[in-house]
């Protein structure tokens, strides 16, 4: 498909890119915004479960991306950075944007490899910071997690900044949002996963753990963490830290745990022990 030059910021084909920050806050009715070359390449690849609706590039970015966008199956619009910035409402320095379509949301059950296959699933409970959710997805992808499950309070991984911080992992790591009031222990039983909750007040140390073959690793809210009543119903892990300093960032703590779990669950090939 040949790219189409657009010079008028009011062109209706650019409407999905308009007032980008304001729309981040209210949502986009089944659409999401992808920024930057690395993330666009992932969206265009067969590794993404999402389809692009359109791509919007500064003309000088087209030659470097043309080969990778050949099969994207969506129109590619070319507009100067001044036009792109006028539409978006703030400077678009990199000149690479796309609109993706969310499609239907999968069920958690469909994403988790059935037993007895090994499985590594990340659960996010009450993570309301987009950077942290993006970071969790990046780490999940790096350590080959099969899926990420999010409770109803956790923010959208397809929020613009979350995708960017995830380095595109939000596009390629399957995820499902659970219904409000979802019960993690019951879900783990249903999926045949051993539930391990990471918390600064966890009962066992991460390093003392014999990693299970099938794990649901649960991370809780940045501030208060997982609720004590919930923790009482789970096996809980802590990462020992130096005394007197608050704690690790939740995505960072999750990365340390994923690293340990992945290296034993077969999610990361080529590791030797």
Binding site for a second copy (CB under 8 A): 38, 47, 135, 138-139, 141-144, 167, 169, 172, 205, 207-208, 239-249, 251-252, 255-256, 259, 262-263, 267-273
> What minimum distance in Å lies between the beta carbon of 64 and a second copy?
17
> What minimum distance in Å lies between the beta carbon of 268 and a second copy?
5
CA angle 101, 103, 108 (to 5 degrees): 130
> What minimum distance in Å lies between the beta carbon of 75 and a second copy?
27
> What minimum distance in Å lies between the beta carbon of 252 and a second copy?
5
Cβ–Cβ under 8 Å, residues 252 and 219: no
In angstroms, rounded to a whole number, what is the distance separating the alpha carbons of residues 163 and 169?
A: 7
Pick the closer one to a second copy by CB: 16 or 254. Answer: 254
Pick the closer one to a second copy by CB: 180 or 245. Answer: 245
In angstroms, rounded to a whole number, what is the distance separating the alpha carbons of residues 89 and 78?
A: 17
> What minimum distance in Å lies between the beta carbon of 57 and a second copy?
21
Pick the closer one to a second copy by CB: 146 or 156. Answer: 146
> What minimum distance in Å lies between the beta carbon of 167 and a second copy?
6
Pick the closer one to a second copy by CB: 85 or 263. Answer: 263
Pick the closer one to a second copy by CB: 61 or 138. Answer: 138
In angstroms, rounded to a whole number, what is the distance separating the alpha carbons of residues 77 and 93?
A: 17
């Amino acid at each position: 498909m040949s790219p189409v030059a657009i010079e008028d910021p009011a062109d209706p084909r650019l409407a999905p890119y308009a007032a980008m920050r304001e729309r981040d806050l209210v949502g986009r009715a089944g659409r999401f915004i992808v920024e930057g070359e690395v993330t666009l390449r992932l969206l265009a690849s067969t590794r993404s479960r999402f389809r692009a609706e359109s791509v919007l590039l500064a003309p000088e970015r087209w030659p470097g991306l043309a080969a990778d966008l050949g099969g994207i199956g969506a129109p590619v619009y070319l507009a100067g950075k001044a036009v792109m910035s006028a539409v978006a409402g703030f400077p678009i320095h990199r000149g690479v944007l796309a609109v993706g379509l969310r499609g239907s949301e999968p069920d958690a059950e469909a994403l988790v490899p059935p037993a007895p296959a090994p499985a590594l699933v990340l659960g996010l409970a009450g993570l309301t910071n987009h950077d942290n959710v993006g970071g969790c997805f990046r780490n999940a992808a790096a350590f080959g997690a099969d899926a990420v499950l999010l409770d109803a309070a956790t923010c959208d991984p397809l929020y613009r900044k979350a995708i960017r911080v995830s380095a595109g992992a939000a596009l390629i790591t399957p995820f499902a949002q659970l219904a409000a009031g979802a019960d993690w222990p019951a879900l783990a039983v249903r999926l045949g996963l051993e539930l391990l909750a990471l918390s600064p007040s966890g009962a066992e140390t991460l390093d003392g753990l014999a990693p299970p073959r099938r794990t649901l690793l649960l991370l809780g809210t940045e501030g208060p963490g997982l609720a004590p009543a919930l923790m009482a119903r789970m096996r809980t892990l802590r990462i020992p830290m130096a005394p007197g300093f608050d704690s690790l960032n939740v995505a960072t703590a999750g990365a340390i745990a994923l690293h340990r779990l992945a290296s034993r669950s077969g999610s990361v090939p080529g590791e030797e022990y």
